């Protein structure tokens, strides 16, 4: 997360100071737009591709196949415990590209700003995007800004599109998942969703739940470097772990069995879920990955994940079976089984 | 959080299962009153692990499910008004009215907001003096103190733009209704722990005396539920019926006196129509005369409401414990959480939703259940 940067920290803030908030002109393509680019975006994202300021970034693509992914970010509130919408917009797309087994290299970014959005908050968000991009090792090479009338947006929406390069020998697809494969998760589930919910709804929990937003591409690279035969890899974002496991079960036409007790859930998240009647299996994550590997590579995979800060709580949570194809089943702590279905819509907090 | 892992311990659960097996000598039918207990039972697979002599029947204790259709339709009509901010607990939003649900009203431009406490609705009313803020005050005795407090506070503050659409329901009359049914099979009750934390359990003694049925106050975690079942079986096997408390860490005999006084001030008892079940005399609370200015049903004229329930929905029988959800012909076919025909398929506490969510509509091949 950005550490509270303000417009004062920027290289030549004077022209922007006259307008403390976003006005329609900032998206109009005229002087105000140019000032925003020159004094806010360029200093933050500085790189040779961006500096040309052409209509399109021109880049040399490394040889081989590319992976490409796009995602729009509309999270409210814009700044939340553990991150902000900017960091999320970079990490989210980096992760989507990385889950294909690609090395993310470039991002585009498009901002839709609402008239009246404070520019110093935008600056903080942009700076945190820059930090996240640097940490992930990707460059933001093209962008766009539009402004919508007050009341027609939530301050800021961000779309990012990412491009990554695939190694020759990588073929990761859930359809390759086979019975006896082991399912691993890189850490606790439900952190992001409950962090957002705790601030969005003004719920005051005893301890602050932090979003887990993080770029997973370095951990993915470590697995692929070690020649782990990754069958499937997913970041369980919206719909949570339950949706991801169901996607894998459906795509590979296999059954998935999860040991409920082995799925790590932070105590504060578990408590918040209990209080609101939510199931952490369905709560969003933004810095976790589910990895499916052959059983004889599970220990090695876990060791590699443990060596990464983001994977230190990685653990095996279940296995792939031949029975009940397309269905995810959880073994409960008491020894019974239940089906883990995909959620219809959003989880609704219960009445009591 | 303390009190989570402690009450989910598999070894202690095993011991309770063994003890229940040891003392059970014949077939018994008991009803868990509360939908929260139903979910705990189905989610943890407790019913599958119990011996076959014990039949758990799922009770009507899901407030969302039993809120009458005409009240839902009234809520939809109020929520659709331009001058209204309509506040509700989350799981009311997908409950089908005759033609729509609150989500659809929201999609059509209604200002419908999910809140976690009625006191949040008070805040919204203070912040929006030019709007009418209406809170959907439903629930059993559990949610009544907070709902009562919000109306009390609104009156103290002279807040004129806040009102409540009240459809509170009460557990003891529902238990009597089950027992009075000519087709009743229920021989004992697991009473709802959180209701009793407010009301105590003194009010169950007359029921035990009159009907000679065991009533055991029971919590929601797996060990709580098992302990409630164990105490119930022990009573049934001994032939002696009494009110027992298997949830002493949250419940005492008298309940929360301060909450009860507030409820007595703000609400008064009324006859209530239960969705799927019908009229149960004296089974609801409405705002008392002292607070009738805050009654949204009076404040808003919503015209004639003609309700229509889908014919194939058998949620009423489910709520009375007469059939299991998967015995309904529409279950999992026409009726799913995506397109629920009855409220029992919607709420996280509804029995049909519990059966659907945890896969009780399919036999799982290759997995021992």
Same domain, A188 and A312: yes
A344 belongs to a structural domain: no
Question: What is the pLDDT of chain B when averaged over all its residues?
Answer: 92
Q: Tell whether the torsion through CA atoms of A147, A152, A157 and A163 is positive or negative.
A: negative
Same domain, A179 and A153: no
SS3 A123: helix
Same domain, A145 and A291: no
SS3 B195: helix
CB contact under 8 A, B364 and A349: no
Find the closest chain A residue to B222 by CA distance: A334
Q: Which of residues 88-147 of B touch A (CB under 8 A)?
A: 89-94, 114, 116, 120, 138-140, 142-143
- Whether the pLDDT of residue B369 is over 80: the answer is no
Taking the C-alpha atoms of residue B277 and residue A175, their distance in angstroms, rounded to an integer, is 48
- Give A101→chain B minimum CA distance, Å: 33
ipTM of the complex model: 0.78
For the segment B129-149, the average pLDDT, to the nearest whole number, is: 96
The residue from A138, A166, A194 where one domain ends is A166
Q: Which of residues 252-311 of A touch B (CB under 8 A)?
A: 255, 257, 267, 270-271, 274, 276-277
Asked if A184 and A293 touch (Cβ cutoff 8 Å), the reply is yes
Say how many C-beta atoms besides its own lie within 10 A of residue B237's C-beta. 13
Angular region, B8: left φ>0, alpha ψ -120 to 50, beta rest: alpha
Same domain, A13 and A141: yes
**Per-residue confidence (pLDDT) for residue A201, from 0 to 100:** 64
Q: pTM above the 0.80 mark?
A: yes
CB contact under 8 A, B362 and A334: no
- Whether the pLDDT of residue B91 is over 90: the answer is no
Find the closest chain B residue to A276 by CA distance: B116
A351 belongs to a structural domain: no
Same domain, A277 and A149: no
Kindly list the residues from chain B whose CB atom is less than 8 angstroms away from the CB atom of residue A203. 116
Same domain, A300 and A184: yes
Same domain, A127 and A225: no
- Whether the pLDDT of residue A6 is over 50: the answer is no
**Per-residue confidence (pLDDT) for residue A10, from 0 to 100:** 45
Same domain, A158 and A190: no
Of A322, A339, A345, the CB nearest to B364: A339
- Give A202→chain B minimum CA distance, Å: 9
Find the closest chain B residue to A352 by CA distance: B143
Same domain, A321 and A190: yes
The answer for residues whose C-beta is within 8 angstroms of residue A99's C-beta and 6 or more apart is A172, A216, A220, A233, A234, A235, A289
CB contact under 8 A, A334 and B44: yes
Six-digit token string for B231:
């105490």
A190: closest CA among A243, A260, A264? A264
The residue from A113, A142, A166 where one domain ends is A166
- Give A322→chain B minimum CA distance, Å: 8
CB-based contact, A342 to chain B, within 8 Å: no
For the domain that residue A207 is a member of, what is the CATH number? 3.90.650.10
CB contact under 8 A, A323 and B138: no
CB contact under 8 A, A350 and B142: no
What does the DSSP 8-state code read for residue A240?
H
A291 belongs to a structural domain: yes
For the segment B310-328, the average pLDDT, to the nearest whole number, is: 88
For the segment B16-38, the average pLDDT, to the nearest whole number, is: 96
Find the closest chain A residue to B117 by CA distance: A351
CB contact under 8 A, B44 and A333: yes
Find the closest chain B residue to A274 by CA distance: B4
For the segment A296-310, the average pLDDT, to the nearest whole number, is: 98
Question: What is the pLDDT of chain A when averaged over all its residues?
Answer: 90
Of B10, B94, B347, the CB nearest to A333: B10
Q: Regarding the domain delimited by B1-304, which CATH topology (the fold level of the hierarchy) does it fall under?
A: Rossmann fold (3.40.50)
CB contact under 8 A, B4 and A341: no
Give chain A's domain count: 2
Taking the C-alpha atoms of residue A295 and residue A3, their distance in angstroms, rounded to an integer, is 43
Asked if A65 and A55 touch (Cβ cutoff 8 Å), the reply is no
Taking the C-alpha atoms of residue A146 and residue A128, their distance in angstroms, rounded to an integer, is 20
Q: Tell whether the torsion through CA atoms of B295, B298, B299 and B302 is positive or negative.
A: positive
B138: closest CA among B192, B88, B186, B93? B88
Of A277, A339, A349, the CB nearest to B358: A339
Q: What is the 3-state secondary structure (H, E, C) of A144-202?
A: EEEEECCCCCCCEEEEEEEEEEECCCCCCCHHHCCCCCEEEECCCCCHHHHHHHHHHCC
Q: What would the pLDDT profile of A24-33 be if each residue is shown by its tens digit? A: 989 888 888 8
- Give A342→chain B minimum CA distance, Å: 9
B29 φ, ψ to 5°?
A: -115, 120
Same domain, A211 and A243: yes
Tell me the residue range of the domain where A146 lies. Answer: 7-166
**Per-residue confidence (pLDDT) for residue B308, from 0 to 100:** 77
SS3 B167: strand
Same domain, A180 and A300: yes
Q: How confident is the model at residue A12 (pLDDT cuts 50, 70, 90)?
A: very low
User: Can you give the residue ranges of every domain in chain B?
Assistant: 1-304, 315-357
A339 φ, ψ to 5°?
A: -80, 140
A349 belongs to a structural domain: no
Find the closest chain B residue to A332 by CA distance: B44
Same domain, A269 and A205: yes
- Give B220→chain A minimum CA distance, Å: 11
For the segment A245-255, the average pLDDT, to the nearest whole number, is: 96
Q: What would the pLDDT profile of B223-248 be if each residue is shown by its tens digit? A: 999 999 999 999 999 999 999 999 99
């Amino acid at each position: 997360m950005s550490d509270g940067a303000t417009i004062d920290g920027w290289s030549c803030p004077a022209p922007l100071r006259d307008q403390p908030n976003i006005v329609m002109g900032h998206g109009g393509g005229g002087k105000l737009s140019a000032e925003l680019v020159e004094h806010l975006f360029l200093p933050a994202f500085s790189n040779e591709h961006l500096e040309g300021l052409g209509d399109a970034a021109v880049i040399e693509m490394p040889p081989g196949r590319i992976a490409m992914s796009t995602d729009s970010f509309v999270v409210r509130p814009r700044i939340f415990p553990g991150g902000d919408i900017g960091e999320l917009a970079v990490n989210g797309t980096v992760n989507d590209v990385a889950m294909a087994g690609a090395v993310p290299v470039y991002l585009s970014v498009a901002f839709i700003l609402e008239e009246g959005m404070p520019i110093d908050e935008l600056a903080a968000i942009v700076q945190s995007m820059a930090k996240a991009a640097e940490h992930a090792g990707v460059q933001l090479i093209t962008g766009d800004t539009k402004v919508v009338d007050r009341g027609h947006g939530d301050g800021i929406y961000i779309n990012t599109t990412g491009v990554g390069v695939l190694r020759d020998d990588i073929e990761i697809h859930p359809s390759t998942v086979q019975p006896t494969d082991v399912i691993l998760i890189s850490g606790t589930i439900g952190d992001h969703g409950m962090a957002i919910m705790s601030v969005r709804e003004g719920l005051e929990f005893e301890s602050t739940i932090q979003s887990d937003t993080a770029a997973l591409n370095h951990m993915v690279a470590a697995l692929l470097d070690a020649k782990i035969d990754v069958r499937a890899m997913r970041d369980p974002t919206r719909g949570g772990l339950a949706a991801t496991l169901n996607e894998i079960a459906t795509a590979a036409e296999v059954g998935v069995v999860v040991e409920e007790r082995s799925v790590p859930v932070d105590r504060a998240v578990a408590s918040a879920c209990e209080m609101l009647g939510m199931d952490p299996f369905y709560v969003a994550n933004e810095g976790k990955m589910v990895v499916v590997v052959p059983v004889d590579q599970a220990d090695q995979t876990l060791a590699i994940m443990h060596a990464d800060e983001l994977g230190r709580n990685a653990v095996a949570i279940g296995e792939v079976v031949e029975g009940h194809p397309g269905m995810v089943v959880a073994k409960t702590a008491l020894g019974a089984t239940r089906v883990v279905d995909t959620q219809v819509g959003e989880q609704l907090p219960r009445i009591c | 959080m303390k009190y989570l892992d402690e009450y989910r311990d598999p070894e202690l659960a095993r011991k309770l299962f063994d003890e229940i097996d040891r003392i059970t000598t014949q077939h018994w039918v008991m009803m868990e009153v509360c939908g929260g207990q139903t979910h705990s039972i189905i989610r943890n697979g407790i019913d599958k692990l119990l011996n076959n002599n014990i039949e758990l029947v799922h009770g009507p204790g899901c407030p969302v499910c039993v809120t009458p259709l005409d009240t839902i339709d009234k809520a939809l009509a109020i929520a659709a008004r331009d001058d209204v901010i309509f506040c509700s607990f989350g799981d009311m939003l997908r409950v089908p009215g005759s033609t729509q649900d609150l989500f659809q009203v929201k999609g059509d431009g209604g200002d419908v907001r999910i809140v976690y406490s009625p006191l949040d609705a008070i805040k919204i009313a203070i912040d929006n003096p030019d709007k009418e803020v209406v809170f959907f005050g439903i629930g059993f005795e559990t949610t009544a103190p907070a709902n009562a407090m919000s109306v009390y506070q609104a009156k103290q503050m002279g807040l004129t733009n806040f009102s409540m659409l009240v459809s509170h329901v009460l557990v003891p009359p529902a238990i009597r209704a089950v027992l009075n049914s000519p087709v009743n099979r229920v021989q004992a009750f697991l009473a709802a722990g959180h209701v009793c934390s407010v009301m105590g359990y003194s009010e169950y003694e007359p029921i035990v005396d009159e009907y000679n049925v065991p009533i055991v106050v029971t919590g929601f975690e797996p060990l709580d539920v098992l302990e409630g079942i164990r105490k119930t079986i022990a009573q049934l096997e001994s032939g002696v019926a009494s009110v027992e408390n298997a949830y002493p860490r949250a419940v005492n005999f008298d309940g929360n006196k301060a909450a009860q006084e507030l409820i007595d001030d703000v609400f008064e008892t009324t006859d209530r129509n239960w969705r799927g079940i019908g009229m149960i005399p004296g089974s609801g609370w409405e705002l008392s005369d002292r607070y009738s200015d805050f009654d949204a049903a009076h404040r808003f004229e919503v015209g004639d409401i003609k309700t229509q329930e889908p014919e194939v929905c058998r949620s009423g029988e489910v709520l009375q414990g007469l059939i299991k959800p998967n015995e309904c012909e529409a279950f999992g076919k026409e009726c799913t959480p995506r397109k629920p025909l009855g409220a029992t398929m919607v709420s996280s506490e509804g029995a049909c939703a519990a059966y659907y969510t945890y896969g009780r509509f399919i036999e799982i091949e290759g997995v021992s259940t």
